[in-house]
């Protein structure tokens, strides 16, 4: 390892990927040189009709066909391998395909079905894509660092074992950024993963390989991870559904990253999907197996299928708080159009009440979480990059070297910041409780130090979910995704978030506000990036946020909102 330069190591990994794509049968077609910026329709021009028909299906459409034998696991595996290989050629989203493993697994599933006339489990034959740093036994586990190439996972990550037991097929691994701390996906092993709707834009990060692959329907259900927006950013940028679950619901043992022992900002594993039902299938399948019985760090909380919102008398309205602008960085016109379009539809619905949800000190939230991200002064990231001599990627440089909050903390400083984290969480909970209820907010004079239980009347008036942007723009231009405020704040308070597509896209109707005067340097930077032609075809996605451990409530609220507003809009 040490005797090789970083370029040689990276080329070896790229050559390995090329060999895995070349091993796919039917063969993955080559792509033309003169591609349009929007490559989402290219697969339909290059792949067989049968492959397109299978890969356009969602998880909930595929599963009954697999469970009944109308489709075999082998058919579905071959189709998704071919489309995933093409997706990688188009947007650079895969680290490797696994045709031999996947087809061996598919054969086992087909043989089992042929003999027993029943599926292996609820995910029988379903293809699931996996972000590279989530370990797969015997395979490389580099987490985006050249110097970590050659680290081999000794076992499958725990969550993969639960999905495997349910009958799925793992067939492809996807790209992530250097340090795993970008809202885009670029590393020195594979290069830059771009957005299928506009290849001048980022696919998001850090689960951007998953986002781009699903955006091109090379997968219908994938696994990502999130510590500051890493599921939500790729889901939003590629027009997908993505869930950042509450921490300690899903098992995360068996992945690779720096600072594995830190407990100040808890990362989570979660699904990205081409459908809402795919998200629910993923969560229910894992939680039905009670992973807390083998991982004592997990909360023993099943996936609740009963309604979390509807009262027996059916009279209570769904209360949706709207936070369209955090007061620090104003979202670009397409994002505001998406929110306004949805809100105007919801306002006319008799079973939904829309209320303004003011931001609560997002700059303070960022100071705390940005200070906690790299408690060792980012020494592990710096060492991992230096070990191979690879260059710093621009977004690694931004989040570490240009981050004024990155410093090596003493133990007392970590304790103090942890106290601040908990104080912010308590203050934010009280802020949420105050919206529309008449209860005092955290900064009001009559707000006691320790709040008591809420009255039944106050409970009835509480906001159920908050609708807000995922970021201040649609999929950002490459190397410009610098503002994490709309996602990282929810990591700090540990609230579940569902990203969903509106069906709208950025277009010429989203004019630049030439009279706008930026509030600060961050706002100025974001404002000056916007020009409609640069973002053409970028999906407009939004985010629903719920209280901690109210993951199912967020899903149900989305279903009610989608039905009321007719989502997606186009």
Question: What is the SS3 string spanning 179-207?
Answer: HHCCCCCEECCCEECEECCEEEEECCCCC
The residues, any chain, with a CB within 8 Å of residue 563's CB and separated by 6 or more, are none
Ramachandran region, residue 377 (left: φ > 0; alpha: ψ -120 to 50; beta: rest): left
Q: Which of 487, 483, 494, 520 is nearest to 403 (CA)?
A: 483
CB atoms closer than 10 angstroms to residue 327: 15
How far apart are alpha carbons 378 and 407 in whole angstroms?
A: 8
How far apart are alpha carbons 139 and 152 in whole angstroms?
A: 5
Helix (H, G, I), strand (E, B) or coil at 322: strand
What the block records as the tokens of 511 is: 């004019």
| Cβ pair 543, 240 in contact under 8 A | no
pLDDT of residue 452: 79
Read off φ and ψ for residue 95, nearest 5 degrees.
-95, -30
Apex 220 CA angle, 15 and 158, nearest 5: 75
Apex 550 CA angle, 414 and 253, nearest 5: 55
Biggest distance spanned by C-alpha atoms of the chain? 72
Q: Which of 328, 308, 303, 331 is nearest to 462 (CA)?
A: 308
Read off φ and ψ for residue 128, nearest 5 degrees.
-130, 130
Read off φ and ψ for residue 324, nearest 5 degrees.
-90, -15
The pairing of beta strand 169-174 with beta strand 127-131? parallel
| β-strand partners of 202 | 194
| Cβ pair 262, 369 in contact under 8 A | no
What the block records as the tokens of 258 is: 């720096």
| Cβ pair 322, 343 in contact under 8 A | yes
Structural fold of domain 6-29+40-293: Amidase signature (AS) enzymes (3.90.1300)
Taking the CA atoms of 427, 430, 434 and 439 in sequence, report the sign of the dihedral they define: negative
Q: Residue length, the chain?
A: 570
In our burial notation (b when 16+ CB lie closer than 10 A, e otherwise), range 510-525 reads beeeeeeeeeeebbee
How far apart are alpha carbons 63 and 125 in whole angstroms?
A: 8
Read off φ and ψ for residue 400, nearest 5 degrees.
-110, -60
| Cβ pair 471, 233 in contact under 8 A | yes
Helix (H, G, I), strand (E, B) or coil at 10: helix
Divide the 570 residues of the chain into consecutive groups of 10 and give the mean pLDDT of each group.
Answer: 82 98 98 97 98 98 98 98 98 98 98 98 98 98 97 98 98 98 98 98 98 98 98 98 98 94 95 98 98 96 88 77 98 98 96 97 98 97 98 98 97 98 97 95 73 86 97 98 98 98 96 96 98 96 98 97 90
Annotated binding site for substrate: 180, 206, 227-230
How far apart are alpha carbons 268 and 494 in whole angstroms?
A: 10
Q: Give domain limits for the chain.
A: 6-29+40-293
How distant is the alpha carbon of residue 257 from its chain centre?
A: 17
* Residue linked to tokens 């808890």: 266
pLDDT of residue 450: 61
How far apart are alpha carbons 205 and 210 in whole angstroms?
A: 9
The full DSSP string for 424-486 is HHHHHHHHHHHTTT----TTSTT--SS--PPPHHHHHHS--EEEE-SSSSSSPBTT-----HH
pLDDT of residue 315: 73
pLDDT of residue 143: 96
How far apart are alpha carbons 487 and 472 in whole angstroms?
A: 10
pLDDT of residue 4: 85
How big is the chain by its Cα radius of gyration, in Å? Answer: 23
pLDDT of residue 369: 98
Q: Which helix H or strand E contains 94, and what residues bound it?
A: strand 94-97
How far apart are alpha carbons 213 and 211 in whole angstroms?
A: 6
For 255, which DSSP code? B
| Cβ pair 87, 93 in contact under 8 A | yes
pLDDT of residue 311: 56
Q: What number of CA atoms fall less than 13 Å from residue 487's CA on the CB side?
A: 33
List, by residue number, the catalytic residues. 131, 206, 230
Residue 407, preceding peptide bond in cis (omega within 30° of 0): no
pLDDT of residue 448: 56
| Cβ pair 530, 473 in contact under 8 A | yes
How far apart are alpha carbons 21 and 96 in whole angstroms?
A: 7
How far apart are alpha carbons 274 and 550 in whole angstroms?
A: 22
Helix (H, G, I), strand (E, B) or coil at 11: helix
pLDDT of residue 314: 65
């Amino acid at each position: 390892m040490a005797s090789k330069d970083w370029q040689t190591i990276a080329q070896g990994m790229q050559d390995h990927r090329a060999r895995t794509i070349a091993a796919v049968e039917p063969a993955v077609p080559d792509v033309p040189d003169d591609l349009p910026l929007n490559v989402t329709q290219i697969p339909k021009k290059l792949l067989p009709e049968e492959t397109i028909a299978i890969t356009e299906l969602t998880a909930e459409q595929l599963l009954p066909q697999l469970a009944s034998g109308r489709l075999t696991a082998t058919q579905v595996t071959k189709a998704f391998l071919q489309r995933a290989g093409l997706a990688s050629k188009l947007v650079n989203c895969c680290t490797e395909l696994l045709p031999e493993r996947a087809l061996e697994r598919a054969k086992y599933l087909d043989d089992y079905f042929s003999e027993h006339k029943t599926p292996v489990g609820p995910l029988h034959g379903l293809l699931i894509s996996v972000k590279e740093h989530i370990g797969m036994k015997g395979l490389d586990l580099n987490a985006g660092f050249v110097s970590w190439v050659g680290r081999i996972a000794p076992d499958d990550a725990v969550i993969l074992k639960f999905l495997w037991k349910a009958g799925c097929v793992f067939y492809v691994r996807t790209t992530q950024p250097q340090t795993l701390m970008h809202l885009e996906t670029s590393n020195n092993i594979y290069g830059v993963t771009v957005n299928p709707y506009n290849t001048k834009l980022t696919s998001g990060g850090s689960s951007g390989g998953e986002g781009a692959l699903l955006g091109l329907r090379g997968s219908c259900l994938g696994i990502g991870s999130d510590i500051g927006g890493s599921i939500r950013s790729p889901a939003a940028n590629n027009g997908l559904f993505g869930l950042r679950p509450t921490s300690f619901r899903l098992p995360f043992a068996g992945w690779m990253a720096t600072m594995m022992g830190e407990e100040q900002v808890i990362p989570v594993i979660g699904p990205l999907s081409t459908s809402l039902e795919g998200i629910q299938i993923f969560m229910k399948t894992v939680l039905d197996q009670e992973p807390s019985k083998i991982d004592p760090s997990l909360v023993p909380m099943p996936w609740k299928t009963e309604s979390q919102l509807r009262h027996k008398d059916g009279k209570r309205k769904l209360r949706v708080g709207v936070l369209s602008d955090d007061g620090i960085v104003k979202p670009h016109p397409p994002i505001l159009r998406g929110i306004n379009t949805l809100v105007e539809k919801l306002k006319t619905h008799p079973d939904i009440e829309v209320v303004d949800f003011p931001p609560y000190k997002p700059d303070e939230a960022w100071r705390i979480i940005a200070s906690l991200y790299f408690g060792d002064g980012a020494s592990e990231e710096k060492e991992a990059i230096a070990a191979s001599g690879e260059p710093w990627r621009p977004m690694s440089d931004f989040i570490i070297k240009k981050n004024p909050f990155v410093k090596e903390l003493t133990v007392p400083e970590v304790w103090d910041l942890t106290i601040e984290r908990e104080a912010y969480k308590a203050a934010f909970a009280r802020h949420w409780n105050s919206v529309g209820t008449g209860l005092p907010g955290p900064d009001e004079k009559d707000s006691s130090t320790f709040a008591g239980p809420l009255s039944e009347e106050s409970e009835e008036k509480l906001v159920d979910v908050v609708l807000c942007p995922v970021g201040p723009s649609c999929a950002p231009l490459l190397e410009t995704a610098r503002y994490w405020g709309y996602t990282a704040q929810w990591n700090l308070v540990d609230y579940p978030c569902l990203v969903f597509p509106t069906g709208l896209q950025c277009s010429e109707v989203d004019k630049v506000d030439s009279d706008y005067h930026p509030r600060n340097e961050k706002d100025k930077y974001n404002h000056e990036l916007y020009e409609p032609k640069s973002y053409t075809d970028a999906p407009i996605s939004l985010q629903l946020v719920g209280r901690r451990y109210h993951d199912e409530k967020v899903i149900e609220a989305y279903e009610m909102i989608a039905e009321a507003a007719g989502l997606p809009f186009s």
